[in-house]
Amino acid sequence: MTHIQACLFDLDGVLVDTAKYHYLAWKRLANELGFDFTEQDNERLKGVSRMASLDILLSIGKLTLSEAKKQELAARKNDWYVESISQMDHTEILPGALVFLQACRDNGLKTALGSASKNAMTILNNTGLIPYFDAIIDGTRTSSAKPDPEVFILGAQELNVSPERCVVFEDAEAGIEAARRACMSCIGIGSPTTLSQADFVIASLADMTVERLKQLEQA
């Protein structure tokens, strides 16, 4: 590939471990509705927008509800989630994230956030991550959720870098598909089995260096 000029990062599951808070809030909702919701079920919600997540959850519980009721349930889940993330601080930044973000900046690579979450700014503020980004694109700025490429295309535009020169870091299948559709390289964070569509997969950003990124240029 051509010379890499920018790194675009997903938030939940890549920079911070918020998947557990999403899981606890969805599980509480499912339990209130009278069915169980397992960690395995939760895998299907990673990277998926709030309303699409609710649809998956309701299909697991075999429930069909009106649009008004769905809005009410999504708001209830979000209230619980917001309560959890309001307690977050920098200690919840995932291993290796800060070091790699800083290394990108020290090496002249631009950085952007590309998240589906409408709560991204709260998390970035509470963890002190805001100064690490040249551009921040979140769920309040997009009209189509991942796997649609909009979030990453907007990020590249805001950085003024062409998509082929961007690398996306993602922990969700929907996010990797979004990166592919945006014509960007993609590094998966998590399990190689689940994230087989990525260029390569690492366990966490602690395994990432700018030197390793350069290997993608030779690929």
Residue 119 contact, options ligand BG6, Mg ion, none, Cβ 5-8 Å cut-off depending on partner type: ligand BG6
| Shortest Cβ 15–Mg ion spacing (Å) | 9
The verdict on whether 12 is a catalytic residue reads yes
Spatial distance between the Cα atoms of 35 and 149, rounded to a whole number of angstroms: 33
Contact region for Mg ion (CB under 5 A) — 47-55, 80-88, 132-140, 210-218? 47-55
For Mg ion, which is the closer residue by CB, 162 or 181? 181
Contact 123, 88 (CB under 8 A): yes
| Shortest Cβ 178–ligand BG6 spacing (Å) | 11
**Contact status: 12 vs Mg ion (CB under 5 A):** yes
CA-to-CA dists, residue 107 to 59, 102, 110, angstroms: 46, 9, 9
Binding mask 149-178 for Mg ion (x = CB under 5 A): ----------------------xx------
Contact region for Mg ion (CB under 5 A) — 11-19, 121-129, 130-138, 195-203? 11-19
| Shortest Cβ 209–ligand BG6 spacing (Å) | 25
CA-to-CA dists, residue 171 to 45, 85, 200, angstroms: 12, 19, 12
Catalytic-role residue among 10, 138, 148, 199: 10
The verdict on whether 79 is a catalytic residue reads no
Residue 116 contact, options ligand BG6, Mg ion, none, Cβ 5-8 Å cut-off depending on partner type: ligand BG6
For Mg ion, which is the closer residue by CB, 61 or 207? 207
Contact region for Mg ion (CB under 5 A) — 6-14, 26-34, 37-45, 118-126? 6-14
Total number of residues shown for the chain: 219
Give the number of other Cβ atoms within 10 Å of residue 144's Cβ: 11
For residue 85, what is the enclosing H or E element?
Answer: helix 67-85
DSSP 172: S
For Mg ion, which is the closer residue by CB, 61 or 139? 139
Given the structure tokens 């991550």, which residue do they identify? 129
Q: For residue 102, which phi and psi values (nearest 5 degrees)?
A: -65, -40
For residue 50, what is the enclosing H or E element?
Answer: helix 50-60
- Identity of residue 183: C
Catalytic residues: 10, 12
